[in-house]
Structure 1
Amino acid sequence: MRIALIADTFPPLRTSGAVQLRDLSREFARQGHALTVLLPAPDQNNPWQLEEIDGVQVLRLKAPRTKDIGYVRRTLGELVMPFSMLRQLKKSPLANEKWDGVIWYAPSIFHGPLANEIKKSSKCKGYLIIRDIFPEWAVDMGLMGRGLPYRFFDAIARYQYSVADVIGVQTPGNLGYFDQWLKQSGRQLEVLKNWLDMPAQVRCSIRVSETFLEGRKIFVYAGNMGIAQGMDILLDLAEKLSNRSDVGFLFVGRGSDAARLKTSAQDRKLRNVLFFDEIHPDEIPDLYSQCNIGIVALDSKHQSHNIPGKFLTYMQNGLPVLANVNKGNDLAKLIRNERVGQACESNNIIDLLQLAEKILFQINTEVELPNRCRNLFFREFSVNKTVKQIVTALST
């Protein structure tokens, strides 16, 4: 199939979304499909730039900046983005290209107009991949009420839902949100689980053996450190375990809370905690080979379900998980059912401490624990399976 994939994140960005979309595009090429990735490019001077990466066409289209700026400028930039991308697309060598299907990835919620135009011009189906339900999660977190800003974003999101023929959500728990959308004939709703490709083998710049955490059992968190993660309780946990000289905590990444968390650890004089800046995604497997337990954190105020990309990387590399997540999250059920770690849904430090001590005992006594993690990844989260599922949906 000839397929267009619209997104706003892709390498050289290092976000989990960029890694996911890189892996997805590579697998489309491996399975013999002609994939074109359409991306906004605020920093390039030319209207368009076409390149080939790993057998995939990548068309970068000049558009307003939408990242690392204030909320108002970001919203205006995202509102203009799809129209700007469409204008530049019409100037590019792919102006008259016809595709057999179009896929777009949310976040962002603003790709609807571009996806709709490609659907109409190519007379093809559209598949919307939803990784978080915005603006609902922002309301859950207390970042937004249900006033005018919410109604604006909700209208944008619902427009992009209306463009899609198929919507793929992360977990079964998110299916109910789209009950009304599904009532219109011809629409299809399904669970499209997160995915990852096989890891690269690149030496990590972080060497735990060269730090004061050498020789300890390492809890590792690698990824975004922001409001949605609710990570303060992890420092509480480190403080509760500070009397154990055999346990350490390693936090790697960036985000709106990263500097504050690092300062908090210093103020508490935590001698079992280390922070490092974001590393290249290809270094992650070697980082995890130096660690023992992966941490997943989601703020307890979330109402939706989420299986973060970092959970997949832990499973892929045989790391059991200690998760602190919102009550009822599908991830907690998955961790328990598959016996790949411990999940806390109470956001209570005493409960989390007991589960941390339990998993520390497990990694010393359950020799099959790493294999259970890897088996879960290959069975449920292989990118090969993801591409086949999307192609089937677009073909029928």
Structure 2
Amino acid sequence: MKKIIFLALGFPDVAKYTNLYTDLIHEFHNNGHDVLVLAPAENDKDTGLRLEGGVNVLRVATLPLFNVGTLKKGLANLLLSWQYKKALKQHHIALDFDLILMPTPPITLTPTAHWIKNKSGAKLYLILRDIFPQNAVDLKMMNGNGAIHSFFRKKEIALYKLADYIGCMSPANVNYIKKHNPDVAPSKLHLLPNWENLPNYKEGKSCEALLDKYKLRDKFIVIFGGNIGRPQKMENIIELAKVCQELPEIVFFIIGTGTEKQRLTNLVQNENLANVILEDKIHKTDYNDLLRLSDVGLISLSEDFTIPNFPSKVLSYFGNKKPVLASVDLNTDFGTILEEVKAGYWAEAGATKDLKEKLLLLYHDKNLRAQMGENGYAYMQENLLPDKAYQTIITVTS
């Protein structure tokens, strides 16, 4: 048994909903490890040490970290390490951990991880899900030659140096870190693909009412669920919707919030697109039910990326046996993996004609959709469940 601390940025109360990190931490808990999660509080009333789904979670008051402007978000992240360290001291948490788990984003928790590591002698396992600050440079949110970039780049380098192990999402991520960080020992790097639990359906449950609720009856549903920000560049999907208007039964059902949501809403209204339906966040049970009723799962990444992203939302599509249509940049290996698994089609982001052709292949062939859905499901069972991620981390750190 290991005593583990998880330094989290996004860690919801499992009584409300789950994400990949709650799934992973509960895998550790269920395997008998002593786990403490350090995470932001949703509000000032939820601060302190709590038991959430059997796991100890220390909730810390922070500045708003999500759906705020770049400056506010940056300040909140910079303060986070100090706030976490203060909370550990205030609650007299014994620093006798064996393992520190820390995902990116953010990279600004490095001082806390360093402090805990020095006090306890713990090993640091970095779950690399975000390559910052380069992603901000790609999206023109940061000047690649400026002082702010230099500041965060130094923090990134320090984090890689501090980490004992670095789990990367895909082979392209491993290669990227090797190429752009030659001082990082290759022995630290290994594959840690994204993970998610398979959906748990109730036998005999009917989801048909959701079709009427969201005006999806008799529609061919292309669904997107997740963050709506610059990384997703949903304008490319709107362009696809525009060129599909001659097929009124095809509807693009987009669920989520984010910094670009209002801009997306305005764009849909200005273009008067009747084949696009926008919704904010919905309950995960309803989302999974809607996935079951949908025909295609949609992925969108900005063509401006030079770093290789691997979208975690695809796991929900795989788990619900849905074929995937992806609009992605050429630096990710997601499209290649999708081809190898035979679980969907992809086109270069911004290549609307090609993307439409791939969509129509799925639209016209029900058997193809079903087979691709089964392929994705089988791939997920074999490679992308939380127990696979748990076993990878335990094996590497033992």
Q: TM-score normalized by structure 1?
A: 0.92
Give the corresponding residue for 1:154: 153
Superposition pairs of residues 305-344 of structure 1, within 5 angstroms = 305-344=308-347
Alignment of 1:228-377 (within 5 A): 228-345=231-348, 347-365=350-368, 367-377=370-380
Q: Is the 8 A contact 1:294 1:320 kept in 2?
A: yes
Give the distance between the partners of 2:78 and 2:35, measured in 1 at CA.
25
Cross-structure match for 2:125: 127
Bigger shift: residues 283-292 or 200-209: 200-209
Secondary structure at 1:139 match in 2: helix
Name the aligned partner's letter for residue 31 of structure 2: Q
Q: Name the SS for the 1:90 alignment partner.
A: helix
- Calculate the TM-score normalised by the size of structure 2: 0.91
Count of residues in correspondence between the two structures: 392
Asked whether the 8 Å contact 2:95–2:116 carries over to 1, the reply is no
Relative to structure 1, is the Cα distance of residues 42 and 238 closer, same or farther in structure 2, using a 3 angstrom cutoff?
Answer: closer
Deviation at 1:346, TM superposition (A): 5.2
Call closer, same or farther: CA 1:62–1:266 in 2, change over 3 Å: closer
Residues 101 and 212 of structure 1, relative CA distance in 2, 3 Å threshold:
closer
Alignment match, 2:173: 174
| Equivalent in 213, 220, 224 of residue 221 of structure 1 | 224
Amino acid at match of 1:239: K
CA displacement 1:240-278 (0-9 Å, x = unmatched): 111113311101111122122222222222222211111
- In structure 1, what is the equivalent of residue 140 of structure 2? 142
Give the Å deviation of 1:156: 1.8
**Superposition deviation, residue 367 in structure 1:** 4.0
Q: Which residue of 2 aligns with 1:36?
A: 36
Contact 2:329 2:349 in 1 (8 A): yes
* Unaligned segments of structure 2, at least 5 residues: none
Gap change, CA 1:88 and 1:365, over 3 Å in 2 = closer
- SS of the residue corresponding to residue 196 of structure 2 reads coil
Q: Cα distance 1:42–1:54, how it changes in 2: closer, same or farther (>3 A)? A: closer
Q: 181-190 or 264-273, which moves further after superposition?
A: 181-190
Counterpart for residue 23 of structure 1: 23
Say if 2:6 is the partner of 1:5.
yes
Mapped to 2, the partners of 1:91 and 1:366 lie a distance apart of 54
Letter of the structure 1 residue corresponding to residue 23 of structure 2: D
1:101 aligns with 2:99: yes
User: Matches of 2:15 and 2:264 in 1, distance apart?
Assistant: 21
Q: Match for residue 53 of structure 1?
A: 52
Relative to structure 2, which stretch is displaced further, 135-144 or 124-133?
135-144
CA distance 1:185–1:316, change in 2 (3 Å): closer
- Cα-Cα RMSD: 2.5
Q: Percent identity?
A: 28
CA distance in 1, matches of 2:55, 2:218: 43
Q: Is the 8 A contact 1:200 1:282 kept in 2?
A: no
The whole-number CA distance in structure 1 between the counterparts of 2:289 and 2:250 is 19
Instruction: Confirm or deny: 8 A CA contact 1:213 1:272 kept in the other structure.
Output: no
Deviations 1:340-366 (A, max 9, x none): 111002521111111111121233445
Instruction: Tell whether the 8 Å contact from 1:237 to 1:349 is kept in structure 2 after alignment.
Output: yes
Give me the whole-angstrom Cα distance separating, in 2, the residues matched to 1:150 and 1:205.
Answer: 50
Measured in 1, the distance between the counterparts of 2:248 and 2:68 equals: 42
Runs of 5+ in structure 1 lacking a partner?
A: none
Question: What's the offset of the Cα at 1:284?
Answer: 2.2
Cα 1:76–1:263 shift into 2, 3 Å: closer
Separation in 2, partners of 1:213, 1:224: 22
Change in 2 beyond 3 A, CA 1:186/1:329: closer
Alpha-carbon distance change, 232 to 63 in structure 1, aligned in 2, over 3 angstroms: closer
